[in-house]
Structure 1
């Protein structure tokens, strides 16, 4: 939420402990992991229906209390209801709930360029750039991440499309390639449309796709390290779409690059929110996410600290740049954010991660 003012104004070490972080979890999170059977990772349900339904049938929904619903399913967030429609399952894999920050980044970049005009052509260009950044390349990154996380998801969220068998492996792989080439194709189209001699939008799309790959896939798998992986994720969500929007209508400059990379530290904090639901599987499979390394209590403070301190720093930057009204407005948006952090997220980050992500992620 507070990132909107950045648009207006200008947006590894490991700690080894003797005690496993899982010992600090509530009893319901310490249940033994499900057995992984073969590569297909099909999870047997505790209760079996009398009739066999379509092969795409997934477990009914997330565990009780998570608010399972068709709405969650369409957004691709935790607590999705049972679904058999292949196109809804495909949409779930792309996680539409993660698209808005990318779309907003394009808007900020276009505005910061100083060359955006409310003409039909400029609006059309910006919409294509949003579609490239959100549905295609973010959809690619999310589907790819689910593909490489299928072992972990079989433990943490066995009802998700891939570990549950609701969608076949071949269908997932085809979706990954189609989204990737679709996004890169739109990047090349935007360069031609903008008359660029150097295809900067295409290369930004290519670079972002590469970061998405090394974030999720071995051997690098950046997400194995909570610091590096979450910063890479934050930079991809904040900096890259901004750069694409600004490059489409103008030119990038060092100040904007530094400012957006700085703001990506807040993205690191936002990315940590997503790690709390995966603690059991991450610990079982050796993933060094921050909640696993530091435990829930410390990680939740790292999370909110990265978000709030970065945004306060940006407010200070705006004040020093002679933009006191923008600085005050940003601080005004940070205050309710801090209130809800104490009201929900810091109270129980495992229980309220989805609610907090909906409001501020």
Structure 2
């Protein structure tokens, strides 16, 4: 997430003799007209080279008018930044935090024990900070670190392959975010009065899952099925479990239900694989678009999202929650419409537009399911 410039340094030659003569050399003055002409030629040559690069790879050329807002969110179309703290924030991809924050909300709602008082609100905010900025930030930074070779092909102007941040700074950030997130998890267990530190172990397990997802030798993301399911479970299951464990009891039926919902998360994760086909294929990563081709993979993607939600609606209906089941089915309809309108037409061109349009209905469905299980 950069082309490499080979810089050749030539050592100056040293001449020695038995006798040293001090020669006073007259300075050589380049005529101003020649200097001006040379400079014009250099500028034109640079412009020509830049235009050639952009014509060969327009999608990989740095955006002159990139958005600072996109840069802070860590999404494509970002401006090139040199400010260290902005680059650090970009690595954590704040745009990926909301699903985790929402997962905590769903878990708290499913517990049936959340109350609108200062203490419970404060607990939930700390849990959101742990799940979002700290542990998701750790996951995203770690993933970018191990993806730096792929990003050098797919997105060479990302912070790490472009050299906007040093390797030591990246590694330091990974450790600070990881330890900070685990520290907050331990604090939440103490605050909730847990005899067994369930939130801490959930955070530790999620952090380990993030590591084996991105790092060799396991590198789960090399397999499109396992990697994307792990990603879906991390974004839907883990924050839900943390929120529910913080305010109530995490039960086996909720674990199974959220793991089922994580199949929808698998589908969401596939959406992001289409833009990386070139680099994934070059490095031997078997993402689903690489393994099955774009046409088949996009139907696997929408099938995983839609069939999962229909199955959960069926579960709620069977559990005697018909109104919640109908509400969930109603939220699936606009998602299907947006799939045909955007994603199935061109999953690369419309990936952001599709996710911005359809995913709000999916996350509302998560809350509907959480409220259904709490009653």
TM over 0.5: yes
Q: Give the distance between the partners of 2:214 and 2:227, measured in 1 at CA.
A: 9
Closer, same or farther in 2 for the Cα pair 1:262/1:37, shift >3 Å?
A: farther
Aligned match of 1:158: 156
Closer, same or farther in 2 for the Cα pair 1:85/1:98, shift >3 Å?
A: same
Q: Post-superposition shift, 1:360?
A: 3.4
| Residue 110 (structure 2) pairs with residue 112 (structure 1) | yes
Closer, same or farther in 2 for the Cα pair 1:267/1:351, shift >3 Å?
A: same
- For the Cα contact (< 8 Å) 1:61–1:159, is it kept in 2? no
RMSD: 2.1
Closer, same or farther in 2 for the Cα pair 1:93/1:63, shift >3 Å?
A: same
Q: Give the distance between the partners of 1:65 and 1:338, measured in 2 at CA.
A: 33
Q: 3-state DSSP class of the match of 2:349?
A: helix
The alignment's TM-score, normalised by the length of structure 2, stands at 0.79
Q: Post-superposition shift, 1:262?
A: 0.3
Closer, same or farther in 2 for the Cα pair 1:61/1:118, shift >3 Å?
A: farther
Give unpaired runs (5+ residues) of structure 1.
1-33, 39-46, 50-59
Aligned match of 1:284: 282
Aligned match of 1:249: 247
Give unpaired runs (5+ residues) of structure 2.
7-44, 48-57, 360-375
Aligned match of 1:260: 258
Q: Post-superposition shift, 1:48?
A: 5.5
Aligned match of 2:173: 175
**Number of residues of Structure 1 aligned to a counterpart in Structure 2:** 310
Aligned match of 1:346: 344
Aligned match of 1:229: 227
Q: Give the distance between the partners of 2:104 and 2:87, measured in 1 at CA.
A: 27
Q: Give the distance between the partners of 1:133 and 1:356, measured in 2 at CA.
A: 25
The alignment's TM-score, normalised by the length of structure 1, stands at 0.82
Q: Give the distance between the partners of 1:153 and 1:83, measured in 2 at CA.
A: 17
Q: Give the distance between the partners of 2:92 and 2:46, measured in 1 at CA.
A: 29
Aligned match of 1:208: 206
Closer, same or farther in 2 for the Cα pair 1:150/1:124, shift >3 Å?
A: same
Closer, same or farther in 2 for the Cα pair 1:305/1:171, shift >3 Å?
A: same
* 1:134 counterpart (109, 129, 132): 132
Closer, same or farther in 2 for the Cα pair 1:299/1:66, shift >3 Å?
A: farther
Instruction: Please state which structure has a larger fraction of its residues in helix.
Output: 2
Which deviations, in whole Å up to 9, do the C-alpha atoms of 1:132-183 show, x marking residues without a partner?
Answer: 0000000000000000000000000001110111111111111000000000
| Residue 271 (structure 2) pairs with residue 273 (structure 1) | yes
Greater C-alpha radius of gyration = 2
Q: Post-superposition shift, 1:314?
A: 0.9
- For the Cα contact (< 8 Å) 2:231–2:269, is it kept in 1? yes
Aligned match of 2:92: 94
